[in-house]
DNA sequence: CATGGCACATACTTTAGGGTAAGTACTTGT
DNA sequence: ACAAGTACTTACCCTAAAGTATGTGCCATG
């Protein structure tokens, strides 16, 4: 289902990468420009939409929501909306999102080492 | 140098992400479609160009070389060319590249868990 | 009465990255 | 003479993702 355009080799290739490479699978889910940053901010606890927005001023609203929706679809975060007069929406990490944290921090650790040339730059 | 177009907000945003997020930094380096796969194949030991090519038939030569050059530039792999009659080029992981392996496998582990719904899909 | 905050949506544009196809220089095998 | 292998390069195309700009409904406040 969710039909992929048949006449597109690029899609086949993507599919191949997804099938053969779990890392590519993971990247699909955290590979947005801002997704790791969002995830990081949520790792500190629940946040409402406007808090996230203020925490990451460089991202546009469109992209932020786009990513939040995607992360929700991917089951990494959970959206809770209270149907009150001024909208009140909170986002928090799901189990899968929490399970991603070690990965994120492993990457971060590596990045810091690499940045300071610990691998012999 | 390698001047970034000044009048481009997208570049500023990328820069911001790179500065504030080590994960984004790491993704820059392993975020190509085939980079993790290449890295994985090299983790099994040195390989020559044509071996890699045969190991990953789905990737085109252009992209493969593109990624190899990039990985070399980023210091993740080391290229050794013997100036012999038929070219003989081998690629292998650098220290930084090896240091990335735990990260890769952490991602893979998470991906497998997530795929089988271990987080409560 | 209009301005601003909240949580979005929508239309349009741009760019980086991946894909296709073809060519290069040199040599060995038939 | 010609195909085939090795390691690339180059020119051009197409798409997905990020960006820009603007609008929406609702309410409170100045």
Q: Which of residues 30-69 of A touch strand C (CB under 7 A)?
A: 48-50, 61-62, 65, 68-69
CATH number, domain A10-115:
1.10.10.10
Question: What confidence category does residue B83 fall into, taking pLDDT thresholds of 50, 70 and 90?
Answer: confident
pLDDT at B16: 66
In this prediction, the residues of chain A whose per-residue pLDDT falls under 50 are 1-11
pLDDT at B11: 54
Q: List all residues of chain A from 64 to 103 with a beta carbon under 8 Å from chain B.
A: 75, 94-96, 99-100, 102-103
A111 touches chain B (CB under 8 A): yes
Of the candidate ranges A17-26, B70-79, B90-99, the one whose mean pLDDT is the lowest: A17-26
- Sort out which chain A residues have CB atoms less than 8 A from B121's CB and list them: 75
Residue (of A37, A40, A47) closest to A98 by Cα position? A40
- Mean pLDDT value of segment B48-74: 95
**Residue keyed to tokens 């890392």:** A23
Name the average pLDDT for chain B: 86
Distance A60 CA to D22 C1' (A): 13
pLDDT higher than 60, residue B4: no
pLDDT higher than 90, residue B20: no
Percent of chain B exceeding pLDDT 70 equals: 83
pLDDT at A49: 96
- Mean pLDDT value of segment B44-69: 94
pLDDT at B69: 96
Q: Which of residues 86-115 of B touch strand C (CB under 7 A)?
A: 86
**Which fold would CATH assign to domain B9-113?**
Arc Repressor Mutant, subunit A (1.10.10)
Classify residue A71 by its DSSP letter.
H
């Amino acid at each position: 289902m969710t039909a992929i355009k048949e006449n597109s080799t690029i899609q086949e290739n993507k599919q191949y990468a997804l099938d053969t490479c779990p890392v590519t699978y993971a990247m699909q889910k955290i590979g947005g420009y801002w997704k790791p940053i969002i995830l990081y901010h949520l790792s500190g606890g629940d946040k409402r939409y406007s808090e996230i927005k203020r925490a990451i001023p460089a991202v546009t609203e469109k992209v932020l929501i786009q990513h939040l929706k995607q992360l929700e679809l991917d089951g990494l975060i959970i959206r809770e909306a209270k149907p009150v007069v001024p909208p009140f929406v909170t986002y928090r990490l799901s189990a899968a999102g929490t399970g991603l944290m070690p990965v994120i921090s492993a990457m971060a650790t590596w990045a810091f080492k690499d940045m300071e040339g610990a691998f012999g730059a």
